[in-house]
């Protein structure tokens, strides 16, 4: 499974993020299909796909003359886990802050 920094690094580019979002939304696509909505050369799209593959976000397979790309869901698990840890941390922090404020208001009211 890729490291969290590798996933964020790969997703930091808007084109790569758009490719990943499209694959998540529409499923497996050929490199040519992924290139269609972008105003850039096929070699440029290939480089973006290569970065996503090298960082473990997608995998490619060859079917006849097509190179099909698909998401590696386990790569996004690292992001999901990190987000869940952050959510738990901030929820607990805000709960403690709320309790502190309520305690102070109760003390000041007495």
- Reported as a single tens digit per residue, the pLDDT across 58-88 is 999 988 888 899 999 888 888 888 899 999 9
Q: Which residues pair with 29 in a beta bridge?
A: 69
Does residue 2 surpass a pLDDT of 70?
no
Regarding pTM above 0.85, the answer is no
| pLDDT of 1 above 60 | no
Q: Calculate mean pLDDT across residues 27-40.
A: 92
What's the CATH code of the domain at 80? 1.10.10.10
How many independent structural domains does the chain possess? Answer: 1
pLDDT of residue 27: 94
- Domain with 14 in it: 4-109
pLDDT (0 to 100) of residue 66: 83
pLDDT at 21 over 70: yes
Predicted pLDDT of residue 62: 87
Q: How far apart are CA 51 and CA 7, in angstroms?
A: 10
Assess whether pLDDT exceeds 80 at residue 46: yes
Average pLDDT over every residue of 48-65: 92
From the centroid of its chain, how far is CA 45? Answer: 18
């Amino acid at each position: 499974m890729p490291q969290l920094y590798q996933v964020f690094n790969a997703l930091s580019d808007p084109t790569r993020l758009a490719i990943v979002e499209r694959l998540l939304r529409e499923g497996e696509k050929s490199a040519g299909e992924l290139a269609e909505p972008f105003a850039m050369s096929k070699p440029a799209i290939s480089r973006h796909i290569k970065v996503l593959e090298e960082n473990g976000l997608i995998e490619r397979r060859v079917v006849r003359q097509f190179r099909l790309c698909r998401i590696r869901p386990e790569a996004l698990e690292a992001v999901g886990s990190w987000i869940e840890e952050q959510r738990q941390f901030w929820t607990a922090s805000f709960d403690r802050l709320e309790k502190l404020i309520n305690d102070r208001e109760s003390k000041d009211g007495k």
